[in-house]
Chains A and B, each alone.
Chain A
Amino acid sequence: MNSTVNSVGSPRRFLVVIAHPVPDAFVRAAGVLAVESLRSGGYEVDVIDLDADGFDPVLGAVEWASRHEGVPASLARSVDALRWATDLVLVYPTWFGGFPAMLKGWFDRVWGKGVAWDLRPGSTIPKPLLRNITRIWVVTSHGSSKVMNMAQGEAGRQFVLRTMRLTCARFCRVRWVAFYGNDSATKSDHLQYLDRVRSTFSGSMR
């Protein structure tokens, strides 16, 4: 792994994955703010904007047939970025408790065998491969309140905390930077959240 440090003396490299169809969406603004804060802190940041790139989230029949040989070469951009990063930042709106189809499709296609996990011969339990990712950050907006989300089971959050973390570094940490109650939010709530995002992604991180 590349061990060079950046201008602030930290080896952290951030991969930011953004998924939202509307260019001026609130959660997108929060994501852009996170990227700007990281860049002004001197960190290396790589951004994958799934909607702007026109990413195809559907894993098709051809890809399904060759799934045991690994992830296709056409997804090399995402695969290389994942192997390069130490921090993964997910920016998305929470729809029905979880990722939008676009981001779920990115996981379906990229988070596959040979990239995120592998199987030992005869075993049914995946072995993690993304040991380089030591921290996951989630910037997301929920329409309903925290209480309502807890009642609904927070499927997306549980996925990040449990499923995703299993394929990353052993003591991978998750920072959940979420905005709840977007359906009833006022402008000042939004500004307060943006401040929180800015302070979360500013300063030194080791």
Chain B
Amino acid sequence: MPRSLLKHPSSPLGFMGSGSFVVHRPLVVIAHPDRDSLCMTIAHAAIRGLEKGGRQVEVIDLYAESFRPTMSRAEREAYESEQPLIEPDIARHIELMQNCDALIVIYPTWNMGFPAILKGWFDRVFVPGVAFKLDEETNRIVGALGHMTRMVGITTYGSPHWLARLTTDMGRRMLSRCLRMMAPTVRTRSRWIGLYGLNRPDPALITAFIGRVEREMERL
């Protein structure tokens, strides 16, 4: 097989070429209401790890920004049309999202899914004309997230691991399957880092987990 085929970024096998997985500009999206929570500690560890690895990190803290997660009537009506409506509060988010090469979401799992504020971030920011296009002829979705080589979820669960898998983990499914399909799936890899069983917390496990997040983010 010619090496150029392996290295070309638009080739489905492009990931096999050297260097296409190196992350330079990660975007970290955090959704937790409490600034002193475990989830925030984990987020700080992740950012620390990324910076240690020499990355230029951009951070969106949805609760700190008092982000509005509900799509307004005007936004939804624009969604159906050709031209997306980009409100001032999401203009910066869209720019960051389009310029990043890895998306890292850090959130607490509530009812096996994203907190509403994070789900709303995807609803409002990942709109047609920004994250994907609808092909007029075939009515198929054509993703426009090819610039993301990694989608990473870092999250905490009250339930043990087996229960989260049994109930199929809506948040994980949404990020690593549905949203990843907006990118060329073969090249964009997803990584899931979960801390389970927090209904009965184990301090040793938590400390180990924070260390693991920092190490994994440094190597990303």
Contact = CB atoms under 8 A, between A and B. Distances in A.
Nearest to A167: B111
A159 B119 CA distance: 14
A162 B167 CA distance: 5
A170 to B, nearest CB: 16
Contact of A104 (B33, B114, B159, B177): B114
Interface in A95-114: 95-102, 104-105, 107-108, 111
Residue in A20, A159, A183 with the greatest tally of chain B CB atoms within 10 Å: A159
A97 B173 contact: yes
Interface centre among A57, A102, A163 (most CB of B within 10 A): A163
A21 interface: yes
Interface string A96-139: 11111110110110010000000100111110000000000000
Nearest to B179: A96
Interface residues of B, number: 48
A1 interface: no
A57 to B, nearest CB: 4
A143 B141 CA distance: 10
Interface residues of A, number: 50
Given A22-B73, A57-B69, A159 B117 contact: no
A96 B122 contact: yes
Interface string B106-137: 00001111111101101100100000001000
B71 A155 contact: no
A58 B116 CA distance: 6
Given A22-B73, A23-B73, A155-B173, A162 B168 contact: yes
5 nearest interchain CB pairs? Answer: A101-B120, A105-B116, A153-B177, A184-B139, A97-B178
29 contacts: A20-B76, A21-B73, A23-B73, A51-B70, A60-B33, A61-B34, A96-B122, A98-B113, A98-B174, A101-B71, A101-B119, A101-B120, A104-B113, A104-B114, A104-B116, A107-B111, A108-B115, A125-B159, A125-B160, A126-B159, A143-B141, A153-B178, A155-B168, A155-B170, A155-B171, A155-B173, A159-B168, A159-B170, A184-B139
